[in-house]
Amino acid sequence: MSITSASPLYWDPYDVGIAANPYPVFRRLREEQPLYYNGKHDFYALSRFEDVEHALRDHAAYISGRGVILEVIKANLPVPPGVFIFEDPPIHTVHRGLLNRVFTARKMNALEPRIRAFCARCLDPLVGRGKFDFVADLGAQVPMRVIGMLLGIPEPDLQAVRERGDAKLRTEAGQPMEYSDRQIVDGRFEEYIDWRVKHPSDDLMTELLNAEFVDETGASRRLTRQEVLIFSTILATAGNETTNRLIGWIGKLLAEHPDQRRQIARNRALIPQAIEEILRYEPPAHHVGRCLAREVELHGRTVPQGSVMLLLTGAANRDHRRFPDGDRFDIHREQHPHLTFGYGIHACLGSALARVEGRVVLDEVLNRFPEWDVDLNNARLSSTSTVRGWQTLPVFTR
């Protein structure tokens, strides 16, 4: 889709033409309609960094309790207790506090040697072949293996868990995601819970089963079986999908910027800031939804209570008011916090883990393949409206 300043301004999360390169539309939204309304799908959207950051922080007005995905909010279905990404205080405060205790940056960083060993296991057989796929060989493998490490999922089951999680988010090109509350949980996790009850281990699921906390009613208790099931399903699905996309963008962006890739290869101390720039420049999730608990005034207009507001993190991350020349990829950019992992009480629980995985994957790829080019004829974007990334990203190595 060709976007010019003379054409009508239109953004639609389901439009595959826009999704192929949404940034020209995002630029126009920021400058021409920072508060945008889509009448076809009945939602508002914010695109400037300051506006998106404020909305993410204001969890009293911009609530998550009806969901954070457009289709989920529109479905207006009851959300089972434990779906912490679709909760508001006080229950969100309780569940998030419990997860913060067991899902710490220290524990995530401690996984690095095991992640590195698994990356080597994936990459070593590919040396000398002249080609590999950043998604099939890494993005679809590493995040799910890490989730298996955390939750104690047997390795032979990991592919099936990933495929079931992916199926929930996949859409027909140009179509909304079909949603029902039955999609939230993966029944196979019941088997893993039963196993862990009888065979406790040093993993996240064991900690969830045994953690004691004070709930929103003031009662001291442990998580119910259903809550553990929901927590485990969400962590597995969210942790796989977004990090999978990050790994794909590592391959794509560093192929398009070979000089910067070579600088990283020579100086591995640049890896953390390179990962931050990749996350800013191509966030796996371009938007997150909220429902308005009250009417709000924005850019001289009143947005009614009950409206759906999409917060365009993909647009905010390139706002020149926050990131000068934001459409330029630059690993040496002065570091400012981006919104890829959200902000405030709903900031992504797995951000530390995603960063570890991204750093390790890039380091291990460069150890074996310092040069690569994308096979554009066979690279395909994924057909999902919730995250944006590569379904296949084959590269030629040399």
Domain that holds residue 123: 16-397
Tokens matching residue 289: 């939804």
In a domain, 120, yes or no: yes
pTM, to two decimals: 0.91
Strongest mean pLDDT among 84-93, 94-103, 324-333, 346-355: 324-333
Is residue 4, in this structure, part of any structural domain at all? no
Number of domains, the chain: 1
The whole-angstrom separation of Cα 253 and Cα 256 is 5
Range with the lowest mean pLDDT among 50-64, 252-266, 309-323, 340-354?
340-354
Kindly tell me the sign of the dihedral angle through the C-alpha atoms of 353, 356, 359, 360: negative
pLDDT one-digit tens code per residue, 323-382: 999 999 999 999 899 999 999 999 998 899 999 999 999 999 999 999 999 999 999 998
11 belongs to a structural domain: no
* pLDDT level of residue 3 (50, 70, 90 thresholds): very low
Residue 7 lies in a domain: no
- Give mean pLDDT, residues 131-141: 96
CATH number at residue 47: 1.10.630.10
Where residue 364 falls (left for φ over 0; alpha for ψ -120 to 50; beta otherwise) is alpha
Triad 223, 226, 232: Cα angle to 5°: 85
Query: Has residue 6 been placed in a domain?
Result: no
Q: Report if residue 1 sits inside a domain.
A: no
With respect to residue 209, please indicate whether it lies within any of the assigned structural domains: yes
- Asked if residue 157 belongs to a domain, the reply is yes
